Chain A
Amino acid sequence: MVIARIKPIEEILGFISGKKSVLVVGCAGCTAVCLAGGQREVDSLIVDLKDNKGVIFDGYTMERQCEMEFVAELDHLIDGFQAVLSMACGAGVQFVAERFPGMPVFPALDTVFVGANREVGQYQENCRCCGDCQLAYTGGICPVALCAKGIYNGPCGGSRNGKCEVDEKTACAWCQIYERLKDQGRLDQIMNIKKPMKWKNQTQGTLVQRGYEKFQQD
C-alpha cells in the first residue's frame, strides 16, 4: 500500500494562512491503514488546528480519494470553504484538486513510499514502482528498493559479511538474493548480466489492464 506521514503542523498552517474556513478531507484507503490520513487522523488534525482562532474547520472522510465517484461526495460539501486539506496520498490530492479546479487543495501528508505493514505503525519500503520488475530472478527480494545502490548486477565491492557498506546495520540485499537463490537451487537466475533498467517510472504512469482498452477509447 501507499505509505504516508503527516507534514509538520507549521507547514500545514502555512498552507492555510489567511483562510477563514477549511475542509479537512480524510481517505479511508491506504493512508488510513498506515495511520496517517483516516477518520481518526482527520479528527486529530482538526483538534491541532483549532488553536488557530477565527478559522472554521470541518472534516469528512471518504472511502478513497483516488476514485472520482467517492470524491464526488464532496460536491455538496465544499461550498463555503476557502480551502481543502487533503489527507490522502499525492494521487488523491490531485484527484480532489482536479474535481474542484477553483478551490485551493493542499496536502496535509507527505507520501513516502509503497511499502508493507511489518507491525501496526511500522512500515517497510519494498517497491520503488520502477516498472521493470525483477523479482522473478532475484528470489523475491527487490534490488532496486533494498540495495542502497539499486544495482541490477550485484553485489558490489562494498558488501562485507552480508552487510551494506552504506550502513553496517543494513543487510546487503544482493547477499540475501544470493543466499535465497542458492537455497532454492536457482543461482543460474543471476549468472547472466542484466541490461540496464528502463526507468519507466521517470515518466507519468498510466495503466490500462488487458481487456479494458475498449472502455478507455469510449
Chain B
Amino acid sequence: MNIDTKKIKSMLDRKGRMKIFLSVCASCGACADSCFYYRNSGDPESTPSYKALNSLGIMFRKWKKLDYDDLTAMKKLIWGKCVMCRRCYCPLGIDISSAISWARTICRANGVYEDFSEGPSGIKDK
C-alpha cells in the first residue's frame, strides 16, 4: 500500500513546534518514571521519549523516505506501548503525549490504525 508523503509533510508542518521540542530532548530519561507502562515492564522501548522520538521523530527526519511498512512498524510502539493517559512528564516541558498523538493521527490519515477486532490492544502482536 502507498502512503501520501506530501500529506505527511503538510501535517508535520502544522506542528513545527513539536519538531523543536523533540530536537531539545536530552535523553535524560526523567520521563520514564512517569510512564506506568515503563514502570511495570522496565522495557526501555516503553520510555515516553523513546516512543515519541521513534514515531514522530522518525517522521520529521525521514518523511520523504517513509513507506507503509515504516508506519505499520510504529503501531507496536505508539499503540501497543501507550494508552494516551497523558501523564508523561518532561522537565524540559516537552509535550510528549501530544507528539505521540500526532504520530497516531498521521498514521491514521495514511490507513494505518489500531484494529480492535484483532484484540483488546488493537494490534495483532503486542
Contacts and interface: CB of A to CB of B under 8 A. Distances in A.
A63 B116 contact: no
A38 B120 CA distance: 13
Residue in B108, B114, B115, B118 with the greatest tally of chain A CB atoms within 10 Å: B108
A32 B113 CA distance: 10
B120 A117 contact: yes
8 contacts: A40-B115, A40-B117, A62-B105, A63-B84, A64-B84, A120-B119, A120-B120, A121-B117
A82 B35 CA distance: 41
Interface string A55-73: 0000001111000011001
A181 B117 CA distance: 36
Nearest to A33: B116
Given A32-B114, A32-B116, A69-B98, 19 more contacts: A28-B113, A32-B122, A33-B122, A34-B116, A38-B113, A38-B114, A39-B113, A39-B114, A61-B113, A63-B84, A63-B101, A63-B104, A63-B105, A73-B105, A76-B14, A117-B120, A120-B116, A120-B119, A121-B117
Interface string A21-37: 00000001000111100
Nearest to B109: A60
Contacts of A69: 98
Contacts of B108: 28, 39, 61
Interface residues of B, number: 16
Contacts of B84: 63-64
Interface string B54-86: 000000000000000000000000000000100
Given A38-B114, A40-B113, A28 B120 contact: no
B115 A70 contact: no
Given A33-B122, A62-B105, A120 B117 contact: yes
Nearest to B115: A40
Contacts of A121: 117
A118 to B, nearest CB: 11
A49 B108 CA distance: 20
B113 A70 contact: no
Contacts of A120: 116-120
B120 A33 contact: yes
A117 B120 CA distance: 8
Interface string B95-116: 0001001001100100001111
Nearest to B118: A120
A62 B102 CA distance: 9
Contacts of B117: 35, 40, 120-121
Nearest to B86: A67
B116 A70 contact: no
A97 B14 CA distance: 24
B14 to A, nearest CB: 8
Contacts of A33: 116, 120, 122
B98 A28 contact: no
A6 to B, nearest CB: 15
A182 to B, nearest CB: 32
Nearest to A120: B117
Given A33-B122, A69-B98, A38 B116 contact: yes
